[in-house]
Amino acid sequence: MTLVDRINQAARRLPAWPIYIGGVLLPVWLFWQAASGALGVDPIKALEDRLGLWGLKLIVAGLCVTPLRRFARVNLIKYRRSIGLLAFLYIVLHFLTWLLLDLGLRWEQALGDIIKRPFITVGMVGLLAMIPLALTSNDRAIRWLGSARWQKLQKLAYLVALSGGVHFLWLVKAWPLEPFLYLGAILGLLAVRVIPKRSRLAA
């Protein structure tokens, strides 16, 4: 039995619900660390950064599911919904940390930042684009929309990923490597999706 077969077999047996439990515990743990000083002397920034980065990691992970199935025949599709919903949770918490703890509800400054600061504008676009995705991440919504329309709507995830990658790159000073790696991974994962279907046969 090949490695791929083994992974697929394991995936058939392992349910998705433990991902939700672990995924919800992570921000609880981060918040507790931040409050107790374990995240350093600037806990607000640390919490903001970590939540944002975990959100972005899950967004990238979610984008991996389809190419993995198509090119490596590894089928992890049953976990994709939990990955996406947790990404949404982290990005909402990332936003709330910024609004409540960092800005302390300075509404004028918050609105000014969203309108005037391109990196925050882009981040907000990504967050807003996640809302319809999260709202339709259930079987009832799929039935209600019909599979084809639902699939089309889910393409918003590409916008979410691009917004997230650009948001991260735009907020850093100088040229550290990490944001480039994320944006590169996102662009790569989007690029493989435009490879025509029949090229798979040639491969």
Partner 1 sequence: MPTKFIPDLNWSDVTPKAVFLNRRQLIAGAAALSVAGPAAAQLDYVKSDYSTDEEPNDLSDIRGYNNFYEFGTGKEEPSVNAQKLTVDPWSVKIDGMVDKPGDYDLADILSGVTLEERIYRLRCVEAWSMVVPWIGFPLADLLDRIGVQSSAKYVAFETLVRPEEMIGQRYPVLDWPYREGLRLDEAMHTLTILATGLYGEEMPKQNGAPIRLVVPWKYGFKSIKSIVRISLTDQMPETTWNMQNPREYGFYSNVNPNVDHPRWSQASERRIGGGLFGGRQDTLMFNGYEEHVAGLYAGQDLTKDY
Binding site for partner 1 (CB under 8 A): 34-35, 37, 40-45, 47, 101-104, 106, 109, 112-113, 116-120, 170-177
Nearest to partner 1 of 68, 102 (CB atom): 102
**Exposed, middle or buried, 26 (CB in 10 Å: 0-12/13-18/19+)?**
middle
Nearest to partner 1 of 43, 55 (CB atom): 43
End-to-end CA distance of the chain: 22
- Computed from CA positions of residues 155, 72, 183, 86, in that sequence, does the dihedral angle turn out positive or negative? positive
Nearest to partner 1 of 109, 138 (CB atom): 109
Nearest to partner 1 of 31, 79 (CB atom): 31
CB of 111 to partner 1, least distance (A): 11
CB of 116 to partner 1, least distance (A): 7
CB of 29 to partner 1, least distance (A): 14
Distance (Å, whole) CA 60 – CA 178: 14
Place of tokens 């916008």: 159
User: What is the Cα 130 distance to its own chain's centre?
Assistant: 9
